Structure 1
Amino acid sequence: MSYNNLAICSASLLIVLDKVENLDLSKALLIYPVIMHSEMLTFLSKKNTKKRKLNSLILTHPSFFINFDDRFNDSLIITLNSIQYLIASNQIIFDKKLMINREININEKFGERILLIKKASDKIIYLLDHPIEELYLNLRIKL
């Protein structure tokens, strides 16, 4: 099943933004490549999975990151379109950083994939808690 769509990407951005005060655009671009990988998302959504720094997760689960650069590049257009849609629909604002503009209510009506993203969101935020240069270097993203 393909989860590569505007609705999933937009919802994932809203879920993360709902839990942080603001988010750099460069970090927001990393969210969708994480959730596109079903095994990684399932792992991060489990209650018994501990929060880990990115380096630790790369060392313990290298298969999650084998084609991360490809996923990143494949997701750029949909992520930027999602951000544009969320700004145009007044759900988020962009003033040097992305910020949520209104309360969201994600529930079971959104589907199983969105609920997995919601469960994994704290761990995704923790993974992104590094300087952006370090994240892009460790994820081997070629700019």
Structure 2
Amino acid sequence: MSGQSAKASWAFLESDVPEGATAAPEVPGVPAVKDITVSPDKIVAVADVIEEQATALERKISEHLDALSFTPPADDIVSQAAAEAWNAVISSGENSYRNRVLAYVHGLHNLAEQLRAAGRRYLADDEDNAAAVRDAGGS
């Protein structure tokens, strides 16, 4: 395919394209490679914000957990079944909304810790790279 454009590679299809229809789209080019500058202190700051918000959400959830469950308003079978179903879906079941939200909060705490660990790695790598440059005769 050297010397041919991406459009030329689809030329065999254009003869079969009905009148009024569009031909095959051109293949997009490869995006340019860009350097990403990572600042370890900013990563830690982001981790702190995520941790703070996760803790606040966890506190708010804990304050209202009891309100998610309810007891049947009457002793009949329909009320019993409705309360049981509600509690299973909302507050007590394995896949309840309560457990999903708590898993989300746990995931936020894990994300914050992963970001802190990444910040420590980036900082250590920066220090190692700076030492290597100094050892190689740089300034």
Tell me, yes or no, whether TM beats 0.5. Answer: no
Higher-strand-fraction structure: 1
Higher relative contact order (CA 8 A, sep 6+): 1
What TM-score range do you get, normalising by the shorter chain?
A: under 0.3
Look at both structures and tell me which one has the larger radius of gyration over its CA atoms: 2
